[in-house]
Structure 1
Amino acid sequence: MYMFDLAKKEFAITEAITISELVKNLPEIENNKLPFLIMALANYIEKTSFHNPNSLLQDVQRCLTEQDPHRALQRMLVHMVTVGTSEDVLNVRMYSTGEVARFFGVSVATVNNWVNQGRFHGVEKGERFKQVRIPENAVYSSPTGVQSTVAEAAEAYACEQSRLNRTQPMTDAEELAELVNAVVHFEKKYGGTYEKTLGIKAKPTPDEARDAQQWEGLLRSIEVRGANT
């Protein structure tokens, strides 16, 4: 991880501006292709940014509408350099897949599958035999479309542990009992099993979608534990 003081950050921003100016000297036929690069970069920023990029993306769209792709490129390069040199990003806490699995109540294999499926925005599959590290501000997208950060899942897990007055990790039997109790809670709330209620609802409300995500995760965790016994 590279560290930046104020001077280095200013140098990096200056170079970003210089690069965008140099692109203006490309042959016209190449400049005609530049908007496609701009759109690809805009998609990347939207998918992976842990900050709110709406203002940036609106500026980029306006520049493309006004046929000023060089200005759009400059805005994106400066944004990327600014984010990349900010201390709040560099100091983001990183979690192992085991920790993330505990927060979400699933197995490590499930978390690895989520990474491979791209469900954690901006988290790329690691090299073989190397453990993936997941930042606390990574956004997880569930199959139902509900999004939450790893930090939110970690906080919810910590609150639950505090509520249960737990200072030691739960045993396998205790964890299974907690999972079953949580499933029973949802079955009482919706008057039936997941498969007969939220699992088949075409247009759930945001609250129902969030419950569906948690309910589905609980059932998956119970299934994994059953397969491992």
Structure 2
Amino acid sequence: MAITEIEQRIYEDKVRLLNEMDLENWAKESFTDKQFRLVFIKAINNLIASSSIEISEASLLDDQHYTKQVLVELLRNVLVVSASNSTTVSYKPSLSVKGVKSKEFKGYTTGELATYFGVSTNTINNWINKEGRFLKYNANGQMEVVKREVPNEKVRIHPEYWFDSPSGMRYQVKELVETYELDKAEWDASKEQNMKSEEEQIVAYLEHFKKKYNGQDFNAVFGKKNWNQLNSEEETDAAMWSFFLQRLKDDKNSRD
């Protein structure tokens, strides 16, 4: 059963709360949360290769009696699996980050992370060297801190690694990178739209002046005239027309 990134975050948040609460209150609060119950049961089910239980997610959310039956069966299977010496759990990362095309991808540099996180490279290095904010799963499925083995070692942070933020939330690195990419795309699209809108306005003004002067262009109307001889309306039109022509030219040059 697929576990979404949102469900992973729900699960991580509940596990983190266990460090701050006594077990009884934590269990009472956590298992009355039907979203956590759902991801908890899905996680257990996925870990048990021998499980043949067909689970309905809708029923897990809405039917407590059904949820109880499924949980009882899964917990029994957990004991069977954990008691078997031949069964091991391994961590198998999956790459889904935009731009990552190969499993040979080794991860992001500290410079790239600084861009994605909106901080300096020194901050990224402090998070690695001093604060241990990046974590990963080892081959045994245990989470461990990413650290440099020797000073100044070049470290790459894989998108499947995790980040403990200063606010106390834990995110997968790929989530933060994807958020950055989405925000950047929206910002670029907004800038492009604004540029188009401004250009359209300028073109509309130019068409207005051309129509006002019987379809003639600026040079035909004002090119050979002495501006000292223009009336106030013509002087205003000439100044604005000239300004918008220059603005349109500057905008085109900036894009070339």
Structure 2-normalised TM-score? 0.33
Q: Radius of gyration: which is bigger?
A: 2
Q: Which has the higher helix share?
A: 1
